[in-house]
Structure 1
Amino acid sequence: DAVAYVLRCFVDDDITHVENRIDPLADAEIVETELMLADLDSLEKRVVANEKKAKGGDKEAKLHVELMNIALGYLREGKPARIATADGKISDEDMKAWEGLNLLTSKPVLYVCNVEEASAASGNEYSNAVAERAKAEGAQWVTISARIEEEVAQLPPADRDEYLETLGLEEPGLSRLIRVGYTLLDLITYFTVGPKETRAWTITRGTRAPAAAGVIHTDFEKGFIRAETISYDDYVSLNGEQGAKDAGKMRLEGKEYVVKDGDVMHFRFAT
């Protein structure tokens, strides 16, 4: 999961702003403060119950109390909980429990800068300021024009590329947003291809073949035998599965295989 801050980065006298100003950094600060207050309220309520369990010898509750107190320390200083991971306060073995706290401010951040049409390709002073903040925080950002996206959505597919080209854009902002989101969450895609349909499946980078198969169905993971695998480039350049097979580009991968972005896979499993 991630938190997306959609920020106004354009001037338009016909569209009012609740604060009567255009300051995306200040807007981001307001949202972040509200999220920190929500986390603070949630933790202060939960930590009491967990402290009682910890005193009774509950090891899981003891760990939760330790992690909650780390988060509370940052939040009470006006810092988001994710700073704790950046500071190395959360060990790898405790990361699952940390994520289980479901803190809004522990999630990675994506800044979405909504700019006017003329700035969609290069950004403007407002989006540039947001980009600098994102770089300093190790966050991700993307610049899009909501007005352009609205117009693109209404055009026939055949006319979209030409329209984007006139604006100096290679692709819709939605495509950039999705790609940046995948980068932020460290996600990749693999494909399954059959005579009736082609499907894309999203997994975390570093996932091994059995777990990737489990995204389709748990039986695929439990009974995993092997995965017939073709790289995306080979699949496209060799005109599909048969061409890849004829060229010796289809591989049989086992349980330790780490799935690559774009892999075309067919799973063999025992029932």
Structure 2
Amino acid sequence: MTSESDPRSRRQGPATLRGSAIPQTTTDQRLLDSQGSVEWLHADPWRVMRIQAEFVEGFGLLAELPKAVSVFGSARTKPGSDEYELAVDIGARLDDAGYAVITGGGPGIMEAANKGCNDNGGLSVGLGIELPFEQKLNDHIDIGLVFRYFFVRKTMFVKYSQAFVVLPGGFGTLDELFEAITLVQTTKITRFPIVLVGTEFWGGLLDWIRSTMLSSGKIGPNDLDLVHLTDDPDEVVRIVTDAHHQAAQRAKEEAAARSIAAEAGDAS
């Protein structure tokens, strides 16, 4: 039998395709490619229905998820490496603190964080993506879903996470990191902690942001406060929990202020 990781096998949304049934392009490629045939004029309305269905499926599956933290990092990180074991440790500590762990569902850092949470008895979630090269969901996931479209998958990460923890990774990790920073910076989402793990790996990037982006006025001084940097898994969890305790306290104070204002209005 052909395995899911075999190059002759392709996951496409909830379906598995093999042999001649595997298309030459991914769903995202077919959506974004505007060259050649004008077939898209007729196909795109139906594509909207598929996109809608993917949102509905994700929302339905994850709607009752408890508070959760998304952990990002390289799929190329090898089991047994220091970074892998660090992600395992962080996954377990997040569960101890009462958080489910969400990852991209693949190998490497994603597998490690799922493993740490799952082995600790916590709720481990994987949100995979259809790729030209097959990448099956790892074996440490309690709830798993494979998406056709990157933008639908990203929405699920943001909607159902209360924090992002980002370990060393490549372009995909950078994409997820900077999208999160942008959404918080522009107040498109409620401010929540973004924690970079690995001072040696991330330090040069942050130095460049300070020396080039900040010094040239492309970002403001307060924007640097959107990101935390650490090597300590205890500090990772502390940053996340402290931020949420502060947010809960602010929400309580704001509710009290609204109640006082409403009572004053009724009295007048």
With normalisation by structure 1, the TM-score equals 0.25
Q: Which is bigger in relative contact order (C-alpha 8 A, separation at least 6)?
A: 2
Over alpha carbons, which structure has the higher Rg?
A: 1
